């Protein structure tokens, strides 16, 4: 066991660490800041030396073993339960309300899990592979999945609300504590829930619960492509205090896990289309992704819009010398040259069309997927 720290060591250690955390704070975590700094304030007091010693001892003992997400999760949960009992019976919290004790436990969770973050979050090759699989699949689905593929009624199409939900979900990697990550997930889900309630009241329609909630959440997840979705969900499941994963929180978390599983297992039937059509969409999306990566201007997006194409044509004027010419102004020699270019273009187009057909790729779908990217 680690030796008991002196009061000064205890206070200095917590102050230095808290200063580092303050630089990472965000408005989203305003509620947790109250919990966290209240916890640190009490832990700086001399009477908290025994609690501080227990925390240091736990962290030291965990570091002696090889990381294992499930095993670490079980040990962390057991330590949280042990510390909850210790805090409830501690003189520092003798007259504390239930809410104040809950705040202390939130602060404890954030302190412990920030210390253990590098060990417990996306720490295995399997987690990294799972994150890449989900992200890559979403990247393909983004190119062709639209609300009607998920049977989302037009009355619920609200780009403004969806954008807010997307932004909330994309914040998830800005935080290191399970609670703050969960807050991002909950904020996203609450935006969707509020949209459903508002539409129900405005249009005098009965809310249909998960039947409409989950499809919108799936669509939002596809639009957001949140970073390391698999690892974030696993992290919250394993290291968020078990007593807090109940009620509304449990419902939202379960739905987001369901959204992830839907994306992993998606097929034609899932998106209300024939499997052959789904596979063509996926192949087109893969080809579009490869074209994006191969393009020298991929960092700025493909120049596939009309204006972007025009810029490309302007830059390659020597290859397309007659784009801006008037027909009546062309000489006999220029018409002959233009005819030669036409024959070359038709030949290349025919070869490309044959190649796409061999890959079972519909060229119209391919162009649509690239144009939407």
**Residue-wise pLDDT tens for the chain (373 aa)?**
333 445 455 544 554 444 444 434 443 445 555 567 778 888 888 888 999 999 999 999 999 999 999 999 999 999 999 999 999 999 998 888 898 899 899 999 999 999 999 999 999 999 999 999 999 999 999 999 999 999 999 999 999 999 999 999 999 999 999 999 999 999 999 999 999 999 888 877 776 677 899 999 999 999 999 999 999 999 999 999 999 999 999 999 999 999 999 999 999 999 999 999 999 999 999 888 777 666 545 444 434 444 554 555 445 445 566 666 667 667 777 777 778 788 888 887 777 777 777 666 666 666 666 555 5
Query: Do residues 180 and 28 make contact, with C-beta atoms less than 8 angstroms apart?
Result: yes
One fold for 30-120 and 125-271: no
Residue 315 burial (10 A CB sphere; 0-12, 13-18, 19+): exposed
Q: In whole angstroms, how large is the CA radius of gyration of the chain?
A: 28
Cα separation of 90 and 95, whole Å? 10
3-state class (DSSP) for residue 75: helix
Provide CATH code, domain 125-271. Answer: 1.20.1050.80
At 266, give phi and psi (nearest 5°): -60, 145
Distance (Å, whole) CA 197 – CA 201: 6
Q: What distance in Å separates the CA atoms of residue 59 and residue 2, rounded to the nearest whole number?
A: 10
Q: According to the model, what pLDDT value does residue 34 have?
A: 54
Contact (CB, 8 A) for 235 and 179: no
Cα(306)–Cα(371) distance, integer angstroms: 10
Q: What is the pLDDT of residue 372?
A: 55
Q: How is the chain split into domains, by residue range? A: 30-120, 125-271
State the Cα–Cα distance between residues 23 and 245, nearest whole angstrom: 28
Convert 278-314 to b/e letters by CB count within 10 Å (16 or more is b).
Answer: bebbbbbbbbbbebbeeeeeeeeebbbeeeeeeeeee
Q: Which two tokens stand for residue 358?
A: 């061999």
CATH number assigned to the domain covering 30-120: 1.10.246.120
Continuous segment of H or E residues that includes residue 221: helix 210-224
């Amino acid at each position: 066991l680690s030796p008991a720290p002196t009061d000064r060591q205890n206070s200095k250690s917590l102050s230095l660490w808290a200063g580092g955390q303050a630089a990472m704070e965000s408005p989203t975590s305003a509620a947790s800041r109250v919990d966290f700094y209240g916890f640190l304030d009490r832990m700086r007091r001399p009477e908290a030396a025994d609690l501080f010693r227990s925390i240091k001892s736990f962290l030291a003992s965990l570091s002696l073993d090889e990381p294992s997400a499930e095993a670490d999760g079980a040990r962390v949960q057991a330590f949280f339960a042990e510390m909850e009992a210790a805090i409830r019976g501690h003189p520092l919290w003798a007259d504390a309300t239930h809410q104040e004790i809950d705040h202390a436990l939130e602060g404890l969770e954030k302190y412990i899990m920030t210390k253990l973050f590098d060990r417990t979050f996306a720490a295995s090759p399997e987690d990294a592979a799972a994150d890449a699989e989900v992200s890559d699949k979403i990247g393909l689905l983004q190119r062709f999945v639209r609300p009607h593929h998920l049977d989302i009624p037009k009355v619920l199409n609200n780009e403004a609300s969806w954008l807010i939900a997307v932004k909330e979900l994309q914040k998830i990697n800005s935080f290191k504590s399970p609670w703050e990550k969960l807050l991002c997930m909950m904020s996203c889900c609450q935006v969707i829930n509020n949209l459903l309630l508002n539409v129900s009241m405005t249009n005098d329609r009965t809310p249909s619960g998960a039947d409409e909630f989950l499809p919108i959440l799936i669509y939002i997840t596809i639009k957001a492509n949140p970073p390391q979705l698999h690892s974030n969900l696993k992290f919250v499941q394993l290291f968020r205090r078990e007593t807090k994963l109940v009620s509304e929180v449990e419902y939202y978390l379960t739905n987001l896990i369901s959204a992830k599983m839907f994306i992993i297992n998606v097929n034609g039937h899932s998106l209300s289309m024939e499997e052959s059509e789904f596979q063509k969409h996926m192949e087109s999306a893969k080809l579009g992704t490869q074209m994006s990566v191969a393009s020298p201007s991929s960092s700025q997006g493909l120049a596939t819009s009309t204006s972007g194409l025009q810029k490309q044509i302007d830059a390659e004027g020597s290859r397309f010398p007659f784009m801006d010419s008037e027909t009546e102004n062309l000489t006999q020699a220029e018409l002959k040259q233009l005819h030669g270019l036409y024959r070359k273009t038709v030949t290349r187009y025919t070869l490309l069309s044959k190649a796409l057909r061999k890959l079972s790729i519909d060229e119209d779908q391919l162009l649509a997927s690239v144009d939407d990217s």
